[in-house]
Amino acid sequence: MHVEEKWTYRQITEHLEIQDKDRVKKWMRKYKQLGEFGLLDQRGRRTAYIDQDRHVKKLKRENEILKKCLEIWMREV
């Protein structure tokens, strides 16, 4: 919304019914730095993986989740 449609933070908070405008600013900063992966909830996740196969499977699952989220968000707009 903000990047593609040039919405203000205020418009985004009103549209998504978010009380904290600073929260949207933090999300935008993460998105600019890390892209869509910056918006994933990282709480409680392990940073080191024992083998590469598990890591690849994890990334594929996250990719599928992001695709589904993007489809939902695009329908709402």
The boundaries of the domain holding residue 52 are 47-77
Q: Tokens representing 42?
A: 């990282």
Question: Is 59 found in the same domain as 34?
Answer: no
Measured between alpha carbons, how far is 40 from 53 in angstroms, rounded to an integer? 21
Count how many domains the chain has: 2
Domain identity same for 27 and 5: yes
- pTM of the predicted model, to two decimals? 0.47
| pLDDT tens string 8-31 | 888 888 888 888 888 888 888 888
pLDDT digits (tens, 9 = 90+) for 36-56: 777 777 666 565 556 777 888
> With 60 as the cut, is the pLDDT of residue 2 above it?
no
9 and 35 both lie in a single domain: yes
- pLDDT band at 61; cut points 50, 70, 90: very high
